[in-house]
Amino acid sequence: MEESRDLEWFPELRKVYLRSAVIRLILPIILIVSYFLGSYLILPSERALILGGLMIAYYIPPTGKESIIPIGIILGIPWWLMAITVVVQDVITCLFMILNLDIAFHIPYLGPWIYRFLAKGKEYIAKWPWLSRWKMWGLAFFVLLPFQGTGGTGAPLVGWMMGLTPGRILFAVGLGASLEALFFALGSELVWVLIFSNFTLALVVLALLLLVVLLAYYLFQFRSRRERL
């Protein structure tokens, strides 16, 4: 691949963890399909289909936890199941990236995005130097941030840049995704309950949730600028 010449610095670019490309590709698919089929044991069939549709939508940018989780709750999916679902998707997506980075480069839209992401890798780490210092916990905090590219697709790339092992990357993605999913799931559930009981209080709670997100973003940017000085 001609493009990879610009990415020689990336240590894991050509490392393959399973020799069989078929197994590497099928394993994440089997896991995600098994999870979806297992939802029929918990939900009525019509709501399980809704959950399946939301799982597909979660992979379509720019949707994320902050939009998929509230929509799922509105459509009748329990808050805890929505939280578990997006976490499982992030972890399985992370596993797919770990096993199939060489193949992912050839996937339309995803491949060019990965290349652009990695081509700016050194600049990316230099922009947020605390990531390298905090290692696994820094990556977990990175995943916790509700921004595009901080989920199961972008996080393993950042983890590789930091020199983390696949196991630590999976743990960090699972931890960060779990905390973020719980925040949005519990927050959304609380807001919808309050809407039907006290609309004014619901608006106050929603405003506070947005304030927390904005504050996290501000602290993230402030910390990054301070460390670059």
Q: Dihedral through CA 32, CA 33, CA 36, CA 40, nearest 10?
A: -150
Which residue range is the domain that position 174 belongs to? 2-228
What global pTM score does this model have?
Answer: 0.78
Q: Residue 115: pLDDT above 60? A: yes
Q: How many CA atoms lie within 13 A of 49 on its CB side?
A: 2
**In contact, 98 and 156? CB cutoff 8 Å:** yes
Could you tell me the two tokens for 223?
């910390």
Supply angle C-alpha 222, 225, 228, rounded to 5: 150
Could you give the number of structural domains in the chain?
1
> How many CB atoms neighbour CB 130 within 10 A?
14
Q: Whole-angstrom Cα distance, residue 210 to residue 225?
A: 23
Tell me what pLDDT residue 91 has: 96
Q: Whole-angstrom Cα distance, residue 103 to residue 64?
A: 24
CA 222 to chain centroid, in Å, comes to 23
**In contact, 145 and 65? CB cutoff 8 Å:** no
Could you tell me the two tokens for 67?
């939009």
pLDDT confidence of 1, banded at 50, 70, 90?
very low
pLDDT confidence of 14, banded at 50, 70, 90?
very low
Tell me what pLDDT residue 2 has: 44
Chain segment 136-188, per-residue pLDDT in tens:
998 998 888 777 667 888 889 888 888 888 899 999 999 999 999 998 888 77
Residues 48-78 as b or e (16 or more Cβ within 10 Å = b): bebbbebbeebeeeeebbbebbbbbbeeebe
Q: Dihedral through CA 38, CA 36, CA 176, CA 203, nearest 10?
A: -100
Q: Whole-angstrom Cα distance, residue 191 to residue 205?
A: 7
